[in-house]
Structure 1
Amino acid sequence: MDRLKLILYYIIIFNLPSSKFGKIFNTIRIWYISFVLKISNYDKNNKFENKVYISNAKNLSIGKHCHINERVFIQGAVIGNYVMIAPNVAILNSTHKHDMIDKPMIMQGDIKDLNPIIEDDVWIGRNAIILPGVKIGKGSIVGAGAVVTKDVKKYTIVGGVPAKVLKIRTNNEK
């Protein structure tokens, strides 16, 4: 049944026009995500744009007042409240095993369900990649194009490949 719900998501909901063409499309997406896929509590303030790829709905939860832009790829994650995710972001929860050099990597299998945790009030910039198992702390900013390989402490701005600390956010910023 869960597979059928995801198939219907891709046939109907995935391709609805962007909310830029009318609030009704976002409302339909949020309703489907909240009541059918059950990955978010219904919140009229959430924005879930078109063409968001959901790999595994059972490993995904989305908080309130979040904005997930178009062409975001989500394998699984815990996403807090007030989170902004720019277009083309990839959030991954699995990786390939590669520790045996005498066996082809493709034959070694996968490590799955390493869901990233994205805490409240996080902004993830365009084309960023969040690798499996990382935690992005409250109030953090991930710069465009960054590859997050390690945990990010709260109120930290990171960027680059791999992502490195650029600045700590404070209340005295102007």
Structure 2
Amino acid sequence: MNKIIRLISLFFYYCFAQYLPDSYTPIFGKPSNFIRIFLCRRIFKSCGKRVLNINRHAFFGFGKNVEIGDFSSIGANCVLHPNVKIGQYVMMGPETYIVGNNHITADVNTPMCFQGKTENKVTVIEDDVWIGARVMIMPGRKIGKGSILAAGAVVTKDVPSLCVFGGNPAKLIRRRGM
């Protein structure tokens, strides 16, 4: 029965709910956000009791292994691969892209498009993280508690706790609280 509910929720999310008005639109925003969260509770592996926002056009595939904690948000036009764990109090700006895998490129005698892809890796975003607009997080990265990813950052390595990272590739800008 849960599988059927998940599939029905996926259908309604992708055919209807993702197109509803932006969560911050006066009058229609809150009900639209409520509908998206309602459906994602039935789609995701786990969904916090008080998710703040799942904005319009968020894409997460089948969402079977997506986890999101309390008071967290997914921004507009975000793309999450199907193996992501989002902690509590996470703010995600618009157009964030969390990559799940890469192409295999080891054999120079075979075209890259025929070499396949690497296995999906789990990306972990710990509690109290702020992800700016248009951030790209590469496969299997861990974003430490209390960190900030500046807008446009391309995260190619793990980010320690309480750090501000930015740039392409993302580098340490400063530590928080020091």
**TM-score with structure 1 length normalisation?**
0.91
What secondary structure is seen at the aligned counterpart in 2 of 1:29? helix
Match of 2:69 among 56, 63, 70: 63
**Please, which moves more after superposition, 150-159 or 61-70?**
61-70
Q: How does 1:1-174 map to 2 (within 5 A)?
A: 1=4, 5-21=9-25, 22-34=29-41, 36-76=42-82, 77-170=84-177
CA contact (8 A) 1:59 1:115 kept: no
What secondary structure is seen at the aligned counterpart in 2 of 1:58? coil
CA contact (8 A) 2:70 2:88 kept: yes
In 1, the alpha carbon distance for the partners of 2:116 and 2:7 equals: 22
- Structure 2 letter corresponding to 1:41: C
How far is the alpha carbon of 1:45 from its aligned partner?
A: 4.5
In 2, the alpha carbon distance for the partners of 1:56 and 1:38 equals: 8
| Structure 2 residues without counterparts, runs of 5 or longer | none
How far is the alpha carbon of 1:137 from its aligned partner?
A: 0.3
Instruction: Kindly tell me the number of residue pairs found equivalent between the two proteins.
Output: 170
- Structure 1 letter corresponding to 2:162: Y
CA contact (8 A) 2:44 2:65 kept: no
Query: What is the percent sequence identity of the aligned residues?
Result: 37
Taking a change above 3 Å as real, the CA distance of residues 110 and 5 of structure 1, as seen in their structure-2 partners, is: farther
Taking a change above 3 Å as real, the CA distance of residues 10 and 154 of structure 1, as seen in their structure-2 partners, is: same
Taking a change above 3 Å as real, the CA distance of residues 14 and 138 of structure 1, as seen in their structure-2 partners, is: same
How far is the alpha carbon of 1:44 from its aligned partner?
A: 3.7
CA contact (8 A) 1:81 1:119 kept: yes
- Structure 2 letter corresponding to 1:23: K
| Structure 1 residues without counterparts, runs of 5 or longer | none
**TM-score with structure 2 length normalisation?**
0.89
Q: Any idea what the Cα deviations from partners look like across 1:132-160, whole Å, max 9, x if unmatched?
A: 00100000000110000000000010000
In 1, the alpha carbon distance for the partners of 2:8 and 2:108 equals: 39
- Structure 1 letter corresponding to 2:141: V
Q: Any idea what the Cα deviations from partners look like across 1:86-130, whole Å, max 9, x if unmatched?
A: 001101111111111111111110113212110000001111100
